[in-house]
Amino acid sequence: MASLSKDGDGWRITFDDPETKRRRTIRLKTPKRAAESIKARVEAMVS
């Protein structure tokens, strides 16, 4: 599961990495629609 949140002038995707059991964060300076698309891809890779 990944979450999307506003971070200053961009977006932040936070997810749990199942291999290392750590929480990871990706920072993006893209429009919301692009960030949502990337979030969906991250969720697909993680699950």
Q: What is the pLDDT of residue 30?
A: 94
- Tell me how far CA of residue 47 lies from CA of 1, 4, 8, 44, in angstroms: 8, 17, 28, 6
- By CB neighbour count within 10 A (0-12 exposed, 13-18 middle, 19+ buried), where does 13 fall? buried
Q: What amino acid occupies position 24?
A: R
Q: What is the pLDDT of residue 44?
A: 93
Q: What is the pLDDT of residue 22?
A: 85
Residue by residue, what is the 3-state secondary structure of the chain?
CEEEEEECCEEEEEEEECCCCEEEEEEECCCHHHHHHHHHHHHHHHC
pLDDT in tens, 2-47: 999 999 999 999 998 888 788 889 999 999 999 999 999 999 998 8
